[in-house]
Chain A
């Protein structure tokens, strides 16, 4: 579903992403682990076509994002680190707006309420302005957007940073449910625990290079921490 073929990004003489080859299949959760500046967000920005690649290709469902910027975006949903919504609109109005833009048609309040129930947004919160929402609640709105969009792939950029453990756990449960329905998930994160718990595979990045890819069922939490730190101290 998500495929990087020799994907590269340079800024002048500085290489933000060395040639990256990666594939995330439907139903798989691939976690990109790494410190700040490792190239995780650059990879996500390239899949979103927010930046142009210096080389290689980013494919979504077989189509190059640079050639089909609008069509490929219809297949994905994106959850940024700082989930920002329109503060003067309610949760439902935000969901309605983004879902309509994504689908090209209005889905109706009843259908959208179903999605909000699925993400467990507290009852009554949908009609309150999002300026009063916590980050966890805002994230639930964005996950409901992904559901309403029926996205085939999810791109997550540090989604659990700033979430309390309960909210983080709820988030993981929702992402797991989407993956279970066949959605391919690419998640950039610092959170080793979540990567091991939620991910099918983990890729460790450092200085723009994907150093190692691991299957999460082949090692424990302590092993992952050790391997990760080894790469960081190379």
Chain B
């Protein structure tokens, strides 16, 4: 019976010109966005791979030079592009994807696509995630606002209910019909997206990302289910289709446009971050507070039990450089830690806004599973910084152990090779899920509440009078 109702709903939908046009537009946008995402992913991954190999080659073949000069010569670290970033580019365009690792400095990330964007980018990028988070819910609304309200207006509801059909079966059948209609769009798009992922990914990357893809699919299904449930609820309660449509479009605008901006402003007001100028000034001031060279000399002489600097068995310059590094590291850890903790507090508050707008939960989960959220940017930044510190320590250690020499101390390829290439492994799906636990739970709550409300509205509030 339920299947029969669903089948009839799908049949009617297929013959409805409005659905055909709306579905055609959404499908085209989805296909184009996946194609654009795929092209970007493949291009950027190739460029990163090439740049990674070149920067390593340059490091190894930089020739003989003082190790500290080599420390300033530095290396680039590239954040690996996750295959699922073709679905959701997340924060990558704003946080950047590459960082220059050199002595003394924890540099900011470079190559932020958002900086290169023109004013049209203010309208947002066309990505598969934006289509699925904004346009598919709009399509669901257009498909379902008249599910019950339209039957009331046309007069078919009285005939339908006089057949002795249980209202809950009717609601489930209609929900499945809408889901089926949606499936005719999404299943081909998902197959196409998976094929693009498989073709574009490096060997093994696709299978490694399958758990993330499965969770992402499940999350989007919960999000869509919430919209189907809500739309059916409103349709069952509204007296006319027009009223149902106005209410649902109002919620769509709140969910997709108002709530994200509102929560962003609220989170920035509650958890204030310093301006980049103020942050840089504080950083500079803190970095200057390192211990004096005289105090360090006294400490080193005491450590090596010598009276004069000339009697030291090691090169003091290496020790001084490492001490300066360690002071800098402490300052970077503290100030960047505070800044990033504030960003995370802002993100957490925005996620809490998902109580009233499911998009906020979906956006967070989507970015998390795509590997493009702030948490994974921070994870990469920390890993890159750890690598920078190890690299500089290897070089400073070499200077220290060189002792006193006639003429300048030079490092060569043997020393450069002591620093292994930077390899970064993104957090596993388990860690992402634990970070996204709140948002995933809220999506599940939205979906079950939507279903329960639709059932309640169909059985208790649907009037055939």
A residues at B contact (CB < 8 Å): 45, 48, 50-51, 69-74, 76-78, 80, 82-89, 93, 97-98, 100-102, 104, 106, 142, 149, 155
Contact = CB atoms under 8 A, between A and B. Distances in A.
A197 B289 CA distance: 108
Interface stretch (B10-18, B61-69, B106-114, B183-191): B10-18
A63 to B, nearest CB: 12
Contact of A84 (B16, B154, B166): B154
Given A89-B12, A101-B4, A74 B164 contact: yes
B465 interface: yes
A141 B192 CA distance: 44
Contacts of B166: 70
A101 B163 contact: yes
B1 A50 contact: no
B155 A104 contact: no
Contact of A51 (B4, B160, B465): B465
A101 B11 contact: no
Given A51-B465, A76-B162, A101 B1 contact: yes
B217 to A, nearest CB: 31
B159 A50 contact: no
Interface in B409-465: 463-465
Contacts, number: 74
Interface of B: 1, 4-5, 8, 11-12, 15-16, 154-156, 158-166, 463-465
20 contacts: A45-B465, A50-B463, A51-B465, A70-B164, A73-B162, A73-B164, A76-B162, A80-B155, A83-B159, A84-B156, A88-B11, A88-B16, A98-B159, A98-B160, A101-B1, A101-B5, A101-B163, A102-B164, A142-B159, A149-B163
Contacts of A70: 164-166
A105 to B, nearest CB: 9
A98 B165 CA distance: 10
Contacts of B156: 84-86
A50 B155 contact: no
A33 to B, nearest CB: 22
Nearest to A70: B164
Nearest to B7: A97
B155 A73 contact: no
Given A88-B12, A88-B16, A98 B158 contact: no
A98 B4 CA distance: 10
B419 to A, nearest CB: 69
B163 A80 contact: no
A64 B16 CA distance: 40
Given A78-B162, A84-B159, A104-B1, 12 more contacts: A50-B464, A50-B465, A70-B164, A82-B155, A83-B159, A84-B156, A88-B11, A88-B12, A93-B8, A98-B160, A101-B1, A149-B163
B163 A102 contact: yes
A149 B163 CA distance: 9
A48 B4 contact: no
Contacts of B11: 88-89, 93
Nearest to B8: A97
Contacts of A51: 465
Contacts of A85: 156, 159
A83 B162 CA distance: 13
A73 B16 contact: no
Contacts of A97: 4, 8
A98 B164 CA distance: 10
A50 B164 contact: no
